[in-house]
Chain A
Amino acid sequence: MTSYTATVTVRLKRGVLDPEAETTQRALERLGFELEALRSADQFEVDLDADSADAAAERADEMAERLLANPTIHDYDVEVREAE
C-alpha cells in the first residue's frame, strides 16, 4: 500500500449560472481589477492508502460520483499524487 493524496475539483457545468462567482467578479471589478470572467470551484484533498495510483483515483472518483459532486450541475476531475 502506498499513501496518496487525491485532489478532487468540483466545478459547475458550463452554462450553469454561478451567482456567487458573478458577485465575486463584480467585487473584484469594484476594487479596480480588470477581468473577463471568473469561475468558482470546490477542491477536496483526500489522503488515502491504495495499491496503485489508479486504484486511488478510482476510489476518489467514486467519492465524487456519490457525494462530492452533484451530477445534475457539476463536472469534476481527479488528480492523484503520492503523499509527501
Chain B
Amino acid sequence: MTVAVVQFGGSNCDRDAVRAFSHIGVDAERVWHEDGLPSDVDGVVLPGGFSYGDYLRAGAMAARSPIMDDVREAAEDGVPVLGVCNGAQIGCESELTPGAFTTNASARFQCETVHLRVENAATPWTAAYDEGDVIEIPIAHGEGRFEIGEDRYDDLVADDRVLFRYCDPAGNITDSANPNGSRGNVAGITGERSNVAVLMPHPERATLPDLGRSTDGQGILSAFA
C-alpha cells in the first residue's frame, strides 16, 4: 500500500506529507513528476509548495505536465487523489475539480491557523469526523480564494461536494472567519467522484503531535489508510 506524493520543481510540502503519513502508519513515498506514477499506486497526493514558481497562475504549469495524465487515470480508476494548497490549485487547473483558487481578497500571503466546519462527513476525506464538527488546521497561501461561477457553485452545494468551510471556533460560517474571500467560505471540495479532493488548508501540518496545537488533520489523511 503506497501513496505517491508527487514532487514538482518547487513543491515544498512533499516531505512533510510523507512524514505525516508515516506517523499514521500509511506507507508513502515521493515520486518525481518526470518519472510518472508507479502503476500499482494506492493513492496520490499533490503536495503544497510553489510548483514552477507559480508562473502564469499558481498550479497552471504543473497541471499541464505529463504526470497529470497518470493522475487523471488513477482518479478514474477510483484511486484516492488529494491536492493540498498548491496541489489544490493544480487540481482545479487540471479540471480534476471545478473552480479556481486565486489571489486572496487581502492580496496578502496568509499563514495562520483556521477553523473548518465539516460539511459532508460521508466521504473518505471526512469519514473520521461528524458533519458539523469544527477542526483546526493551518493555511499558508497567497492564492486560496475559491472562485466559481454561481451556477456551478449551486451545483457543487446541491451535489454535496463541499467538504469544509472556513468558520469561527463555534462553527459559524461568517465573513470574518473567511481568511481569503472564498465563495461560500469554501475551503475544500471533491471532484465529480468523492475519491478526488482538493483543499487549501494543510492537514499534514496538523498531524504530528509535536508540531503545533492540533492533530485534526490526521482524519483527512487517514482516507489513505
- Cβ-based interface call for B211 (8 A): no
- Cβ-based interface call for A20 (8 A): yes
* Contact B56–A17 (Cβ < 8 Å): no
Tally of A-B residue pairs with Cβ under 8 A? Answer: 37
Q: With A16-B147, A17-B145, A17-B181 known to touch, is A70 a contact of B107 (CB < 8 Å)?
A: no
* Nearest CB of A to B117, in Å: 23
* Contact A19–B99 (Cβ < 8 Å): no
Cα distance, A19 to B181, chains bound together (Å): 10
* Nearest CB of B to A52, in Å: 28
Cα distance, A67 to B102, chains bound together (Å): 15
Residues of B close to A68: CB separation below 8 A: 56
* Contact A67–B107 (Cβ < 8 Å): no
Instruction: Count residues on chain B whose CB falls below 8 Å from chain A CBs.
Output: 20
**Interface members, chain A 56-79 (any B CB < 8 Å):** 66-68, 70, 72-73
**Interface members, chain B 40-76 (any A CB < 8 Å):** 56-57, 60, 64
* Contact A73–B147 (Cβ < 8 Å): yes
Q: With A19-B104, A22-B107 known to touch, is A72 a contact of B148 (CB < 8 Å)?
A: yes
Residues of A close to B60: CB separation below 8 A: 67, 70
* Contact B105–A70 (Cβ < 8 Å): no
* Contact B107–A73 (Cβ < 8 Å): no
* Contact A73–B100 (Cβ < 8 Å): yes
- Cβ-based interface call for A23 (8 A): yes
**Interface members, chain A 4-47 (any B CB < 8 Å):** 16-20, 22-23
Cα distance, A68 to B93, chains bound together (Å): 11
Residues of B close to A72: CB separation below 8 A: 92, 98-100, 147-149
- Tell me the nearest residue of chain A to B61, going by C-beta: A67
Residues of A close to B107: CB separation below 8 A: 19-20, 22-23
Interface centre among B56, B93, B105, B148 (most CB of A within 10 A): B56
Residues of A close to B176: CB separation below 8 A: none
1/0 per residue, CB under 8 A from A, across B93-123: the answer is 1000011101111110000000000000000
- List residues of chain B with CB under 8 Å of any chain A CB: 56-57, 60, 64, 92-93, 98-100, 102-107, 145, 147-149, 181
